[in-house]
């Protein structure tokens, strides 16, 4: 039997394969821990309160620039309660005082929007590893709190260190500082990396770690924030 093909009608096997032209790579949603570092964990200034370990959520989108270079944008938030150990302990200060935090029912609430380059270090059929740097803005809400400072004096009225203890301490004097909740915008930047484990051509498990910096101003004072975020979630691949 003869196979006859009409002129101008393409054979099924000869049809061109349509390839995806989008440069958007994936969108991901992750969540995990927010770990305060440095001054953010143990702030002794009158205008700030120390933060404890909290939680973190983040949404990301990736756009391919060229080769292994990508543009990475993210919107995220991290919430940190007040550091309970700092609130429960009396702290010795360099100026011969002790300080104790009072009650507060608020938390640190931080929302950020950033963008920056990322570079893919490893890319296989199962695993992708990238590093990135991002810069943007952070909206930060500080909790309200009180601090009580106690000064110690000997029988001559001279201020002394509380380390002397009894019977050298003759009298004490308390002063309380109250800070209300406040909002602040700040430049923010972060650096970190991510690992994607591909479950299929469209879905992957994504693990990320970043260190984020911001420097909001409250009451005329700069209060630096440093936090490490670790998270896990899923990435949906947009590319074909």
Write b or e for each residue in 91-118: b if 16 or more Cβ atoms lie within 10 A of its Cβ, otherwise e: eeeeebbbbbbeebeebbbbbbebebeb
Residue 17: its pLDDT value, please?
A: 45
Range of the domain at 31: 27-88+106-143+191-237
pTM over 0.85: no
Residue 4: its pLDDT value, please?
A: 45
In a domain, 94, yes or no: no
Average pLDDT, the chain: 79
In a domain, 7, yes or no: no
pLDDT < 50 stretches in the chain? 1-8, 12-18, 20
Residue 34: its pLDDT value, please?
A: 96
In a domain, 222, yes or no: yes
Domain of 54: which CATH number? 2.40.160.20
In a domain, 228, yes or no: yes
- Domains identified in the chain, total number: 1
Contacts of 219 (CB under 8 A, 6+ apart): 46, 47, 179, 182
Residue 115: its pLDDT value, please?
A: 97
CA distances from 191 to 42, 81, 214 (A): 22, 24, 12
């Amino acid at each position: 039997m003869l196979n006859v093909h009409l002129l101008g009608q393409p054979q099924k096997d000869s049809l061109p394969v349509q390839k995806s032209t989008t440069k958007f790579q994936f969108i991901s949603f992750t969540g995990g821990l927010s770990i305060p570092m440095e001054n953010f964990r143990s702030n002794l200034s009158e205008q700030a309160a120390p933060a404890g370990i909290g939680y973190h959520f983040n949404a990301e989108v990736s756009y391919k620039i060229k080769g292994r270079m990508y543009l990475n944008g993210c919107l995220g938030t991290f919430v940190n309660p007040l550091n309970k150990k700092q609130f429960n302990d009396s702290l010795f200060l360099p100026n011969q005082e002790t300080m104790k935090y009072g009650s507060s029912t608020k938390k640190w609430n931080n929302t950020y929007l950033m963008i920056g380059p990322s570079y893919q270090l490893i890319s296989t059929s199962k695993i992708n590893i990238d590093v990135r740097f991002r810069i943007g803005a952070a909206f930060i809400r500080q909790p309200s709190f009180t601090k009580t400072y106690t000064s110690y004096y000997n029988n001559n009225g001279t201020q002394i260190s509380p380390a002397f203890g009894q019977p050298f301490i003759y009298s004490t004097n308390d002063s309380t500082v109250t800070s209300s909740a406040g909002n602040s915008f700040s430049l923010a930047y972060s650096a970190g990396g991510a690992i994607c484990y591909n479950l299929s051509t469209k879905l992957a498990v994504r693990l990320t770690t970043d260190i984020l910096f911001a420097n909001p101003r409250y009451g005329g004072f700069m209060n630096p924030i440093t936090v490490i975020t670790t998270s896990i979630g899923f990435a949906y691949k947009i590319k074909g």
